């Protein structure tokens, strides 16, 4: 009996054993295939990064080599610099450097990219490169040479020693970056080198992009928790402040603020209002109530939003668009001054479509940007500005608007809303120069 049973089981077990070996071999082959593909991708990204950094250095040199009056070539060179830095940033993102301290180099490339873009998009025939911008380009040329040599040194070692990027990924994943690793050490050296560079004068347009909003940008005195409690009670038209709790956020930092929490009877859904500590300005209001089914139209909801803003001291605000989410609509408003729409003075209001109640207000931009402005007089008439539009553009409405252009400057424009090629657009024509400052596609 045992002989008969073993005669049956032995071939079965043999087949299972051979099958498991084959399955393991297949799994091993597939794993190797994935690893080889990942390694090839890392190697390609790294060598492309080294190549594009070298090209960036060459392009900066070419831009500096031509005559100071060669605005056309300056624009072309700066566009190429912007393109090459964007490619280099993309290649860095493809490498397993997430946990490595390489942020200084990435920040440096980001600044170069924004400097090149913001300089190239302006009219260089009217505003050629300044002496400070030439000095910045010369500094970038020297530092890009240094960075290129550093990366090429790492590249030479990778090629000479047949180093693998998968070892870098494994070392980072296992947090064993303290051990010797030529690639990791090379990138740490590059980033350390960049961190030691003296500060560069990037100019106000680029510097403003990296300027974080803080209490120092606001006017007024520092508010106290009691003042915030009174402000919240006044906003909600409450006589009793005992239901309001005020908490300070970011104590003793440049981002300090207050959050006023108001009990509503439902401990899981309190009303919250956020205020800046300096000046005590409201930046957001949230009522978590979920509206029932829609009972009012968008027109009525817009009127409710306008009335809500007027009642809370936001006078002269004009609606520019809206979005509907289930039984609520969110309206975007901008401020006005002398009939001009001031787009930096922007805020949004959320209205419940069951009863028209305001469920939310976001006013961060308004809190930081709202102030009395000295508006320039247009050099172009509305009719002259209209001639700058595409002849096929069907204008529906027009008005004056103050917007921020690509370099962060406030510019007075003629705003045209209309249709072309079956799509609605907003087009902004500079009221002083006639340049097309911005084009926005609109829903509907």
**Tens-place pLDDT, residues 269-311:** 889 999 988 889 999 999 988 888 888 999 999 999 999 999 9
Q: What is the DSSP letter of 222?
A: B
Q: What is the mean pLDDT of residues 221-228?
A: 90
Residue 315: Cβ within 10 Å count: 9
Crossing angle for the helix pair 131-160 and 2-65, to the nearest 10 degrees: 150
H/E stretch holding 64 reads helix 2-65
User: In this predicted model, what pLDDT tens digit does every residue of 65-119 receive, in sequence order?
Assistant: 888 888 888 889 889 999 998 888 888 888 776 656 677 888 888 888 888 888 8
Beta pairing class for 340-352 and 394-404: parallel
pLDDT for position 14 = 62
Both tokens of residue 366? 């308004």
| Mean pLDDT over each residue of the chain, to the nearest integer | 83
pTM of the model: 0.69
pLDDT for position 115 = 87
Whether the per-residue pLDDT at 180 is higher than 70: the answer is no
Domains for the chain: give ranges and CATH numbers.
10-209 (no CATH), 225-369 (3.30.310.160), 382-442 (no CATH)
Q: Of 54-58, 297-301, 334-338, 403-407, where does mean pLDDT reach its minimum? A: 403-407
* Residue 261 near residue 245, CB atoms below 8 Å: yes
Which residue is it, tokens 């929490």?
261
Which residue in 284, 283, 281, 274 sits closest to 222, CA to CA?
281
Whether the per-residue pLDDT at 203 is higher than 90: the answer is no
Q: What is the DSSP letter of 278?
A: B
* Residue 354 near residue 407, CB atoms below 8 Å: no
Instruction: Compute the distance between CA of residue 326 and CA of residue 315 in angstroms, rounded to an integer.
Output: 28
pLDDT for position 298 = 93
Provide the pLDDT confidence category of residue 5 given band limits of 50, 70 and 90. Answer: low
Whether the per-residue pLDDT at 11 is higher than 70: the answer is no
pLDDT for position 220 = 72
Whether the per-residue pLDDT at 21 is higher than 80: the answer is no
């Amino acid at each position: 009996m045992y002989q008969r049973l073993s005669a049956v089981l032995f071939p079965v077990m043999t087949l299972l054993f051979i099958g498991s070996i084959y399955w393991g071999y297949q799994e091993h082959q597939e794993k190797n295939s994935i690893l080889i593909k990942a390694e090839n991708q890392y190697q390609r990204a790294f060598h492309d990064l080294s190549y594009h950094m070298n090209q960036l250095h060459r392009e900066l040199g070419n831009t500096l080599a031509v005559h100071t009056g060669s605005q056309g070539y300056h624009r072309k060179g700066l566009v190429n610099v912007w393109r090459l830095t964007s490619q280099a940033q993309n290649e860095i993102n493809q490498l397993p450097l997430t946990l490595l301290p390489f942020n200084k180099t990435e920040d440096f490339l980001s600044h170069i990219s924004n400097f090149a873009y913001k300089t190239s998009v302006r009219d260089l025939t009217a505003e050629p490169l300044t002496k400070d911008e030439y000095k910045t380009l010369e500094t970038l040329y020297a530092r890009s040479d240094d960075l290129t040599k550093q990366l090429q040194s790492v590249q030479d070692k990778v090629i000479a020693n047949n180093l693998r990027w998968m070892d870098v990924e494994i070392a980072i994943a296992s947090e064993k970056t303290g051990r010797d690793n030529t690639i990791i050490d090379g990138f740490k050296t590059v980033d350390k080198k960049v961190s030691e560079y003296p500060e560069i004068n990037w100019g106000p347009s680029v510097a403003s992009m990296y300027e974080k909003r803080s209490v120092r940008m606001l006017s007024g005195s520092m508010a106290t928790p009691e003042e915030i409690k009174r402000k919240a009670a006044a906003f909600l038209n409450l006589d009793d402040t005992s239901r309001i709790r005020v908490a300070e956020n970011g104590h003793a930092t440049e981002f300090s603020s207050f959050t006023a929490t108001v009990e509503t009877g439902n401990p899981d859904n309190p009303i919250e209002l956020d205020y800046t500590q300096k000046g005590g300005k409201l930046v957001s209001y949230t009522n978590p109530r979920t509206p029932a089914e829609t009972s009012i139209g968008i027109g009525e909801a817009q009127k409710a939003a306008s009335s809500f803003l007027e009642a809370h001291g936001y006078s002269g605000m004009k609606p520019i668009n809206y979005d509907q989410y289930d039984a609520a609509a969110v309206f975007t408003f901008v401020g006005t001054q002398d009939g001009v729409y001031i787009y930096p003075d922007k805020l949004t209001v959320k209205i419940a479509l069951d009863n028209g109640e305001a469920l939310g207000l976001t006013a961060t931009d308004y809190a930081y940007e709202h102030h009395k402005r000295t508006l320039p007089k247009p050099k172009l008439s509305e009719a002259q500005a209209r001639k700058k539009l595409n002849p096929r553009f069907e204008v529906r409405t027009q008005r004056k608007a103050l917007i921020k252009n690509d370099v962060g400057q406030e510019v007075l424009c003629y705003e045209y809303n209309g249709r072309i090629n079956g799509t609605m657009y907003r087009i902004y024509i500079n009221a002083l120069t006639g340049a097309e400052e911005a084009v926005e596609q609109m829903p509907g």
